[in-house]
A = this chain, B = another copy of it.
Amino acid sequence: MRFEDGLADAAARIGAGFDARFATLPDLPLHRAMAYACGGGKCLRGYLVMEGARVHGIPDALHPAMAIEAVHAYSLVHDDLPAMDDDDLRRGHPTVHRRWDEATAILAGDALQTLGFELCLAPEAHPDAGVRADLALSLARAAGAEGMVMGQALDIAAEAADAPLDLDAIVALQRGKTGALIGWAAEAGPRLAGADPAPMRAYADALGLAFQIADDILDVEGDADAMGKAVGKDEGRNKATFVSLLGLDGAKARATSLVDDACDALSPLGPEAQGLIGAARFVIARRT
Q: Which of A101-109, A231-239, A248-256 contacts B (4 or more CB under 8 A)?
A: A101-109
- In the docked arrangement, what's the CA distance between A101 and B118, Å? 30
B157 near A28: Cβ-Cβ < 8 Å? yes
| 30 examples of A-B residue contacts, CB within 8 angstroms | A25-B145, A25-B146, A26-B150, A28-B154, A28-B157, A29-B153, A30-B149, A30-B150, A34-B145, A84-B106, A104-B156, A106-B106, A107-B149, A107-B152, A107-B153, A109-B110, A110-B110, A110-B149, A111-B144, A111-B145, A111-B150, A114-B140, A114-B144, A115-B144, A115-B145, A117-B117, A117-B137, A118-B140, A121-B140, A129-B129
CA distance A59 to B152 in the complex (A): 38
A133 within 8 A of B: yes
B110 lies within 8 A of A78 (CB): yes
* Shortest beta-carbon distance from A56 to chain B in Å: 20
Bound-state CA distance A103–B85 (Å) is: 9
Nearest-Cβ distance from residue A34 to partner chain B, whole angstroms: 6
Do A118 and B103 have beta carbons less than 8 Å apart?
A: no
Contacts of A107 in B (CB 8 A): 78, 149, 152-153, 156
Q: What 4 additional pairs, Cβ within 8 angstroms, besides A25-B146, A111-B149, A113-B113?
A: A78-B107, A103-B156, A104-B153, A121-B137
Task: Report the separation of the CA atoms of residues A26 and B81 in the bound assembly, to the nearest whole angstrom.
Answer: 25
Residue ranges of A at the interface with B (Cβ–Cβ < 8 Å):
25-26, 28-31, 34, 74, 78, 81, 83-84, 101-104, 106-107, 109-111, 113-115, 117-118, 121-122, 129-130, 132-134, 136-137, 139-141, 143-146, 149-150, 152-154, 156-157
> Judging by beta carbons under 8 Å apart, are B140 and A115 in contact?
yes
Q: Are A129 and B118 in contact (CB under 8 A)?
A: no
* Interface of chain A, main secondary structure: helix
Distance in angstroms from A233 CB to nearest chain B CB is: 16
A2 to chain B, nearest CB (A): 36
The answer to whether A103 touches B117 (Cβ under 8 A) is: no
Known contacts A30-B150, A113-B110; decide if A133 and B140 are in contact (CB<8 Å).
no
Tell me whether A106 and B133 are in contact (CB under 8 A).
no
Nearest CB of B to A90, in Å: 16
Q: How far is the CB of A12 from chain B (nearest CB, A)?
A: 23
B residues near A144, Cβ cutoff 8 Å: 111, 114-115, 118
B121 near A129 with CB under 8 A, answer no
